Amino acid sequence: MALILDGKKLAQTMQAEIAAEVAQLAQQTGVRPGLAAVLVGNNSASQVYVRNKRAACQKAGLDSWLYDLPEQTTQAQLLELVQRLNADPKVHGILVQLPLPKQIDEAAIVEAVSPDKDVDGFGVSSLGFLAMGKPRFLPCTPLGIQQLLLRNNILIEGRHVVIVGRSNIVGKPLALILMQKAAGANATVTVCHSKSERLGEITKQADIVIVAIGQTHFLKADMVRPGAVVVDVGINRLPDGKLAGDVDFAAVEKVASAITPVPGGVGPMTITMLLHNTLQAARFHVNNRES
C-alpha cells in the first residue's frame, strides 16, 4: 500500500516553524510580517480560502488584514486599493484572491501588485526571476508540492517528473521549479496537457506524476508505473458534495509507492507557503531598510 503524503500534518509542522521565525524576527527587528488579503464579490470558495489563510496567519503570529469588496467593484477602485497597499510599509504581502468579477482584468490586477509584495508569485517579475534561475517568490502551490516531496524524503534530483497540466498557477511554474539547477530540483521534467497524444504512455514513464488538469479521477491506475509517486493537485466537488481529486485515488493507491490524498494533501501546503513567502517579504523589507 502506498505511503500517504499527509499535507495537513506537514503543514502543521511547517507552520509551527514559521511561527517561531516570525517571533524571532519581531523580537530582533520590531517588524511583524503582514499580509493584506483582498476579496472581491461573493464567491463562496474564495471566501473559504481567504478565511483559512487569515486563520493560518493569526495562528503563526502574522498580522493580517481583509479588504472585502462588493461584487460591483470597478477595476479602477481595485487598482487604487492595490496601490495603497503597495505603499503601506506594514503590509509585506498582498493576496488578491482569484477569480475576480468579469468586469475586472485579472492580469492587470496581478501586475499592479508590487514585485516586492507578490507573495502569490503570479506576477511577471516573479515568474521571470524563476525562469532565469534567480527565484524570489515561488508560487505557493508548486512550492508546497516541492516541500511535500522533500520533507517525505522523496528524491527529485535526476528523476523523471511528468506534470499533467500547464496552467500559470501550477503546471508552468512547477516545471520551472523542479528543473532548477538547485537543491531539491535538478529533475527531468515533461509537461503534458489535454491535447497531449498518448498521454497515458507518457505518465507511465514517470518516477513522479503530478496531476493538475481539473478533471475528476482523470489519472487511472493503468497510467502509472508501479512504484511511482503520485501528487494530486485537483479539487473537484462530486454530486454528493464530497471532494475528489484528479487522480482515481482508490485504484492508483494500489500501484503507487506514495500518493497525496484529496483533501488533506497539497491544499494545506499552499497556505503554508503563503505564510513562508510573507515572512520572506518581511525579511526583504528589513534588509532594504537597513541597507
The residues annotated as belonging to the active site are 53, 97, 120
**To which residue does cell 481583509 refer?**
66
- 3-state DSSP assignment of residue 277: helix
Dihedral in degrees, nearest 10, Cα atoms 3, 198, 144, 287: 150
Which DSSP string do the residues of 210-222 spell out, in sequence order? EE-S--TT-B-GG
Q: Which residues contact 245 (CB under 8 A, 6 or more apart)?
A: 211, 216, 217, 232, 233, 234, 235, 236, 260, 261, 262, 265
The one-letter amino acid code at 186 reads N
Q: In this structure, are residues 264 and 7 in contact, taking their beta carbons and an 8 Å threshold?
A: yes
Q: Which residues contact 262 (CB under 8 A, 6 or more apart)?
A: 232, 234, 235, 243, 244, 245, 247, 249
Q: In this structure, are residues 8 and 268 in contact, taking their beta carbons and an 8 Å threshold?
A: yes
Environment class of residue 86 by beta-carbon count within 10 Å: exposed (0-12), middle (13-18) or buried (19+)? middle
Give CA–CA dist 123/129, Å, rounded.
10
